[in-house]
């Protein structure tokens, strides 16, 4: 099996720490985001996923691509790897865990053991852009 799961994710940093979410029943933390629906572009997919997971609206004017990471898939038995396109954007509203999200926390580089492999790669990407120390 060598299938790749293609997802989008929102990178939000505050105080040098990245926003992380934990879906109910999952052991590791993930970035807010998920799979595109048929016909969705990156903006539509990321903004929809963040709205569904955190009940905030992203700001289209500040939406920027941060980069793409690839890592071993975690808790995805049908896939061997994840390709995650990461984006930054401002937001409006207060974070409220919604739908499948049971927890939200801010994490730093010292929290790597709590993160899914693709999140670890995204944390390194964010650090390479000076977003996290």
For residue 58, is pLDDT > 70? Answer: yes
The CA-atom distances, in angstroms, between 65 and each of 3, 96, 108, 122 are: 24, 24, 21, 12
pLDDT tens-digit readout, 78-111:
778 899 999 999 999 999 999 889 999 999 999 9
Res 74: pLDDT: 84
pLDDT tens-digit readout, 10-31:
999 999 999 999 998 889 999 9
Res 40: pLDDT: 96
Total-model pTM: 0.93
List of residues 6+ apart from 53 with CB closer than 8 A: 21, 32, 33, 34, 97, 98, 99, 100, 101
Q: What is the rounded distance in angstroms from the CA atom of residue 66 to the CA atom of residue 95?
A: 22
Q: List alpha helices for the chain, DSSP H.
A: 42-54, 117-128
Per-chain mean pLDDT for the chain: 94
């Amino acid at each position: 099996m060598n299938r790749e799961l293609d997802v989008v994710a929102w990178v939000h940093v505050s105080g040098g720490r990245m926003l992380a979410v934990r879906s109910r029943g999952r052991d590791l933390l993930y970035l807010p985001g998920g799979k595109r629906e048929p016909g969705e572009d990156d903006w539509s997919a990321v903004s929809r996923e963040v709205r569904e997971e955190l009940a905030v609206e992203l700001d289209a004017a500040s939406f920027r691509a941060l980069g793409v990471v690839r890592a071993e898939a975690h808790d995805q038995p049908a896939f061997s790897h994840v390709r995650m396109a990461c984006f930054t954007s401002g937001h409006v509203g207060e974070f409220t865990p919604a739908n499948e999200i049971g927890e939200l926390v801010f994490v730093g580089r010292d929290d790597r053991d709590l993160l899914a492999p693709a999140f670890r790669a995204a944390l390194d990407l964010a650090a390479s852009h000076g977003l996290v120390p």
